Amino acid sequence: MRVLVLGSGQGSNAKAILEAQNNLLLGNAQVVGIISNIPSAGIIDIAEEYSVPTALISCSKETGKLEINETEDLTQKIKMFSPDLIVLAGFMKIIPSDLIDIFPNKIINLHPSLLPSFKGLNAIERAFNYGVKISGCTVHCVNAGIDDGPIIAQAPVRRMDTDTLEIYTQKIHAAEHVVLPLTIANLSMNPNYQC
């Protein structure tokens, strides 16, 4: 299963996927490329560290909707990698429904909360400030909604009274680093899985 990772941030989840691959823990999946909209993003350094081909798309804004020409650019760049699975690992642009239709049942997203709670940006901080005792992370199929679509996997992360936002954030990221590679491995062993 050819896996293409899209990200805009540090790339810690891309690194976790690539580490799983190096340790033969990614099932039949192989990361064939990484695409980012941020040239200076850490995920590009991670790609270089693991010798994974990269592509950049240029966007007028770092977050929010892709413009029509940006969607076309991204579509062409995704096609270059012929992916079987597209993994949004901290990709902060909204995928328009046209693009989802071109790659049906192929796009999954990682989100740092137990969806459907705390959709959108700054999910960990908002859950923390709300005072929830359990949040976590979710991997789900991408549909036209934001952080919507059928849930594939989730992991709960308990918040201890002594946790600062920084510590709780680290705990959620640690959960993501286990759940995302495991989900990709499971999907690669079940090619008939439909998002």
Interacting residues with ligand GAR (CB under 6 A): 7, 9-13, 43, 89-90, 110-112, 123, 147, 173, 176
At its nearest, how many Å lie between ligand GAR and the CB of residue 75? 20
Output 134 or 189, the one with its CB closest to ligand GAR.
Answer: 134
Pick between residue 78 and residue 124 the one whose CB is nearest to ligand GAR.
Answer: 124
Residue among 111, 140, 173, 177 flagged as catalytic = 111
Considering the complex, state which of residue 33 and residue 90 has its C-beta at the smaller distance from ligand GAR.
90
Measured CA distances, 151 to 33, 82, 88, 105, 130 (Å)? 24, 24, 14, 13, 23
The least CB distance from residue 46 to ligand GAR, in Å, is 9
SS3 label, residue 36: strand
Among residues 182, 105, 181, 192, the alpha carbon closest in space to that of 149 is found at 105
**CA-based diameter of the chain, in Å?**
48
- Tell which residue, 44, 32, 46, 37, has the closest CA to residue 95: 37
To the nearest whole angstrom, how small is the minimum distance from the Cβ of residue 149 to ligand GAR? 12
111 catalytic per annotation: yes
Q: Would you name the residues annotated as active-site residues?
A: 111
